[in-house]
């Protein structure tokens, strides 16, 4: 059941992406790795979906969700962030910093904060590009922390 929901959500992102471009909304699909910074921690891999809203200027908002696989004990990680997009002389590389709140869980829910940096990459004249970012997550209830590496395809003009 959970896998069907993930597939349906990813399909919805692909279907609606072209219509939302003019509104300053960008979509992304990709993969993620969550590295635990705890003693004896490990890494979990998963799939991700990203929605960026960039109204005008440098400041925007980002919502991303990841479904991570952990030996039968799968879980989700949702981040809601404010993002600052830097102006550069490059037409194809657009760096950003972001920070906000995180929600982790499936059976139990844990809230936290995150901060990170990344970049969007695209060719001039194309509405499809790539994104990659790395962020630090700190969760309150479990007192856990980790690094999340995310990357994938991005849809929409820069």
At 107 the pLDDT is 81
The answer to whether the CB of 124 falls within 8 A of the CB of 10 is no
The answer to whether the CB of 87 falls within 8 A of the CB of 116 is no
At 90 the pLDDT is 86
Domain definitions of the chain by residue range: 2-155
Is CATH 1.20.1740.10 the classification given to domain 2-155? no
The SS3 assignment for 10 reads helix
Main-chain dihedrals φ then ψ at residue 8, nearest 5 degrees = -65, -40
Which is it for strands 109-122 and 145-155: parallel, antiparallel or unpaired?
unpaired
At 21 the pLDDT is 38
pTM of the predicted structure, to 2 decimals: 0.81
Residues 6+ apart with CB under 8 A from 31: 45, 46, 47, 48, 150, 151, 152
At 84 the pLDDT is 95
pLDDT tens-digit map of 80-130: 999 999 988 988 898 999 999 999 988 889 999 999 999 999 877 788 999
pLDDT tens-digit map of 16-47: 444 433 348 889 999 999 999 988 888 999 99
């Amino acid at each position: 059941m959970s896998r069907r929901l993930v597939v349906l959500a990813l399909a919805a992102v692909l279907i609606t992406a072209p219509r939302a471009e003019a509104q300053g909304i960008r979509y992304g699909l990709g993969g993620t790795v969550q590295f635990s910074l705890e003693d004896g921690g490990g890494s979990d891999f998963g799939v991700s979906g990203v929605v960026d809203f960039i109204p005008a200027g440098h400041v925007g908002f980002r919502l991303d969700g990841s479904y991570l696989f952990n030996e039968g004990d799968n879980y989700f990680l949702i981040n809601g962030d404010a993002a600052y997009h830097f102006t550069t002389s490059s037409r194809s590389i657009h760096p950003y910093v972001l920070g906000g709140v995180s929600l982790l869980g499936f059976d139990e829910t844990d809230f936290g904060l995150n901060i990170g940096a990344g970049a969007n990459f695209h060719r001039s004249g194309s509405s499809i590009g790539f994104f990659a970012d790395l962020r630090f997550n700190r969760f309150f209830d479990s007192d856990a922390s980790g690094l999340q590496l995310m990357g994938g395809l991005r849809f929409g003009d820069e």
